[in-house]
Structure 1
Amino acid sequence: MERFKYSLDKSSKKYVCPDCNKKTFVYYVDTETGNYLADNYGRCDRENNCGYHKAPSKGKKAYLIPFLSLVSISVKAFKLTDLNGVISVIPKSQILEQNTKNCFITEWYLKTSTINYFSNEIKYFNIDNVSLINEAKTILKCEPKKPSFHKLELLNDMFFGNPVSDNLTEFLKTIFTKDEVANAVLNYYLSGANFFWNNATVFWQIDNKEQLRGAKIMLYNSATGSRVKKPYSHINWLHKAIKEPDFILNQCLFGLHLINEDYQKDIAIVESEKTAIVMSIILPDFIWLATGSKCNFKFDLLKPLKNRNCFAFPDKGEYDNWNNKAIELNKLGFKIAVSNIIEQTDFEAGFDLADYYLIMTNTLN
């Protein structure tokens, strides 16, 4: 949960966007006073065709970190023991708020640490003063930062040179043949690593130009194949593990590199990387890709698929959101059909296509 001093105007008022000259521009407002911010803070509603967006300065960003203990060891440092028993020495200047069981630590420090904070609560401190206006003015376009890429040698070393066993692959071996698993692992360059947690799984995001956009690290239970979510969600990124604090993550669909291998196959899109791998074994007539998040079913990530026939399989509870987005994208030339097969089941929210097929297979057996 993020707590903001500023938010986009929720009224129906729209102004002329300086980038596309359409009356689709929404200003940021001070949530305490209701006044508009300075003229270079706002967003164009034409997300797919314009995309201009500049948010106001929010001050120091910090994440809520739970701990077992936090002990002062000098006038300048604390010793923090996290829920996994991992000890970190943290400058006192980087802990912005402290409670009995948790504290807010600056994003700047966390980027260089091994502390997991990816899905934790966010709060902003020392908010900067931002000028206010009462009328629209010219807005300068903000230049986006260039994305970073991992070196191919890093993948080669982790996948071919010094492979590590991972729990998800071990689980897959219990339900599929050795050859089926080996083929899926090779197709997606599924890797193991002992970063953050032992026998974690690395999901490489390789785009359709063979560039390594990033690598998500997640921990699974080798007996059930389920993701470990307690006492917190075990998700992190490789660039944090190898201490690259300046890495600019610009995600792509998981498995996107596979679309160049067969132009005749239709594309199937799911949310979970694990589901894409499982379904690639069960239904190999499709090229299976994953968004990695329900929010990543969007234009920026789906753009490389514009000329391909696509079938999307949202998790239970997400059908309406994905279907509405597909309707918008199809107006722009996409060819995406959204399946409601999971929505028609009686399973709980979050249930996905791999769960469905694995249960059906066990039932038939």
Structure 2
Amino acid sequence: MKDFRYFLQPYRKSSDRHVCPQCGRKGEFTFYIDKETGQPLHPSVGKCNRENECGYHYRPSEYFRDFPNEKPKGDWKPLQQTQKPKEEKAVQYLPTSFLIEDKCRGENNLFHFIEREFGEDEANRVFDTYHVGTSKHWRNDNGLAVSFPQIDEQGNLRQIKVMAYNPTTGKRLKKQDYAELWVDAKKEKKYVPDNRPQDKIWFAGKSLLRNHEANLRQTFFGCHLIKDACRIGIVESEKTCLICSILMPDITWIATGGSNGCKWTESDVFQPLIGKRVVLYPDAGMFSKWENKAEILRNGGVNVTVSKVCEGMPRNTDIADVLLQERKPKEKPTTIGDICKWLDELGIEKGRVTFNL
């Protein structure tokens, strides 16, 4: 058996497990270690231990395919199979019956926040457009959690992501926030305090199918809207996507669901973007990382640029925060220069815009 340069880091102590770049869980991510240096190859290269719930596994060979300039010279060898590779399983989908009319929207915590900000009609419109639903998986602040379906360009339901939100602030709940978890056991069905050390995020697909071996592959939240769109805005958060679609409806907004999220730099995921005018809107502090991702998309034939709107702002500020702030009275008004900068990013000709001075 050959001796390979990269291997998954053995577990010896808790610090050997890290934050997963996809699901964000601490203590679940295993790095690939470079035997020559004893250091991780890259913070994104590794495997999440939550195979059923997350399934993230970014191998050294895939990393060097995406970033060929990072490949060591001469002696690097890809991990070889010790046996014949298994045949690739066909992608499985969830029944579209899970997208039936939501009769519990009045109990949806995120709906309450968006309704308060924009009114009932706009909240209903955007929830209908993206098929956002309500889940009883978590209960908090007298309301229920949100379900974000991932529907591909063919109308197939690929995954359902469930998250709990604070209805007042609109922020998603972290591990330190209180929520009650729905327990559906044979003997009893009830809510119990969720004291698990993890954020309130759950990928429900495999559980809904009652098949934890199902081959589910994620896609963009809002992917089903790409086909009929000309200009696409890509953000990280599903909530941000909804808010932007209300405040800037001339653009079709989709979300990755995380920095690496739905593995959106893989060609089969970003394929629907080819032929569209695409702008990425990274959160503050993430411009460089998203510019690297944009380069992968460009190499795959996508016409994409990266916005600097959030650069220089407090960390984790996103485009929705900026747009919401613009709605509030402020001392410094928006200038024509600010507007022209935004028009350039969105690919809109300035001659088509009238300024009232």
Q: Deviations over 1:314-345 (max 9, x none)?
A: 01111101112212321332111100110132
Which residue pairs with 1:75 in the alignment? none
Query: Is 1:254 aligned with 2:221?
Result: yes
Which residue pairs with 1:310 in the alignment? 278
Q: Aligned partners of 2:258, 2:151: CA distance in 1, in Å?
A: 16
**What is the percentage of aligned positions where both structures have the same residue?**
29
Which residue pairs with 2:97 in the alignment? 153
TM-score by length of 2: 0.62
2:260 aligns with one of 284, 295, 308: 295
Offset at residue 44 of structure 1 (A): 5.0
Bigger share in helix: 2
Q: Deviations over 1:10-40 (max 9, x none)?
A: 659xxxxxxxxxxxxxxx9xxxxxxxxxxxx
Q: Deviations over 1:17-68 (max 9, x none)?
A: xxxxxxxxxxx9xxxxxxxxxxxx9725553599xxxxxxxxxxxxxxxxxx
Offset at residue 6 of structure 1 (A): 8.1
Which residue pairs with 1:166 in the alignment? 108
Which residue pairs with 2:5 in the alignment? none
Which residue pairs with 1:38 in the alignment? none
Q: Aligned partners of 2:169, 2:29: CA distance in 1, in Å?
A: 39
Offset at residue 192 of structure 1 (A): 0.9
Larger Rg: 1
Which residue pairs with 1:228 in the alignment? 173
Cα gap change, 1:331 to 1:189, in 2 (>3 Å): same
Matches of residues 22-101 of structure 1 in structure 2 within 5 Å? 43=61, 45=63, 47=65
Which residue pairs with 2:319 in the alignment? 353
TM-score by length of 1: 0.61
1:344 aligns with one of 304, 312, 318: 312
Structure 1's unaligned 5+ residue stretches are 13-27, 29-40, 51-133
Runs of at least 4 residues off by over 4 Å: 2-6, 134-142, 160-164
CA contact (8 A) 2:151 2:223 kept: yes
Bigger share in strand: 1
CA contact (8 A) 2:104 2:134 kept: no
Which residue pairs with 1:84 in the alignment? none
Q: Deviations over 1:299-318 (max 9, x none)?
A: 34322212211001001111
CA contact (8 A) 1:164 1:191 kept: no
1:182 aligns with one of 119, 124, 130: 124
Q: Aligned partners of 2:157, 2:66: CA distance in 1, in Å?
A: 24
CA contact (8 A) 2:241 2:253 kept: yes
Which residue pairs with 1:108 in the alignment? none
CA contact (8 A) 2:226 2:272 kept: no
Offset at residue 168 of structure 1 (A): 0.4
Cα gap change, 1:11 to 1:220, in 2 (>3 Å): same
**2:219 alignment partner AA:** C
Cα gap change, 1:161 to 1:362, in 2 (>3 Å): closer
